Amino acid sequence: MKKVISTEKIPIKMWLDDIEEGALQQARNLANLPFAFHHVAIMADAHFGYGMPIGGVLATDEVVIPNAVGVDIGCGVCCLQTSLTDIEDKTLRSILGAIRKTIPTGFKHHRCKQDEAMMPKAAEGLDSLKIVSQEYESALAQLGTLGGGNHFIEIQKGSDNHIWVMIHSGSRNLGYRVANHYNSVAVKLNKKWKSPVNPKWQLAYLPLSSATGWNYLVEMQYCVDFALCNRLHMLQQVKTIFEDHAPEIRFAQPLNVAHNYAAREKHFGQDLIIHRKGATRAFAREMGVIPGSQGMESYIVRGLGNRESFCSCSHGAGRKLGRKQAQRTLKLQEEIDFLEKRNILHEIRSKKDLDEAAGAYKDIHSVIASQDDLIEVVTELKPLAVIKG
């Protein structure tokens, strides 16, 4: 831990030295919520978000905040170790081409609905999920698609001498619709209740004693499950492509982590709702994944179970430049030279791509070093080739 701020209703515990003023004010807002518990934890990759800093962990008592989860519910990472220890440049380029033809990126969906058997099952049937049931047919065509923003498919070389595949993606439009619906409902209810929470904080809440609060948790969990199914579907497509190029290849079991969700957990002797918005769970001996930016290393880590972070760690490197700011200020040729000097097949082609350049993000090595009380590194993964959403 780097510092503790003790000027608010509850402390703010931080794993970074410098934080932008907007994100710090959001952390202060969290610490002054009437139902916030014990302290607020701010991870090493934290930066300004919508309502709550990305890279934040908030514990509440019987209350859930849709904006403290965000619109990409269940966004996370799947990674897979292969039996390959090397890969030729020609083969790598061929695999990348096949992935681009097979997996839709950005706003694109599959032309046909995917196999419904790959979708999550609703315990009480789809009719019990108001928003999910409305979006279900559309979600069938979104299953196995990457999305945009900072989502990626990356082929990597591990410090264990194996070739790895990593996929970062979320719940697509399904999670977006669920998040927006319940946040809108929460805003209206908070106004009706004359909530003590300042509406400018964008932290409208739902009590879990209400049907609406419970329904949000159930639909949110379905989106978390859908995001995992989405990643696994893409992972299976990538595995098939690798098998076409290397028939003798073998794969380990995939490792999956989500970093946008709320869950009931016990901390400091109390049952709580833990909101992780851009934060990875890191219970003792629990395996996790912390991806770097395009062109930088990613890490397989093992949690140390530090209760001061609510057993959490960072979810990535974290932005240091906003998207528009990166496009305005970063130099295109410098970013391309950086990637090509590292022999990485990349997706930086024009100024508009600079929002996802390495220069837009914090240094992943410093971020990892800042949380040595939260995690230990198991495997370092160097990027070989990347497809961006």
Active-site annotation, residues: 315
Asked whether 297 and 365 are in contact (CB, 8 A), the reply is yes
CA separation for the pair 13, 11 (Å, rounded): 6
Residue 261 token pair: 């969700």
Between CA 200 and CA 263 the distance in angstroms is 25
336 contacts 265 by C-beta, under 8 angstroms: no
| CA neighbor of 165 nearest in space, from 242, 90, 247 | 242
> What are the strands of the beta sheet with 3-5, ordered from one edge?
3-5, 12-14, 36-47, 54-60, 270-277, 260-267
Residues counted in the chain: 389
Tokens 């959403």 correspond to what residue?
389
One-letter identity of residue 43: M
Position 278, amino acid:
G
Closest to 278 in 3D by CA, of 253, 257, 304? 257
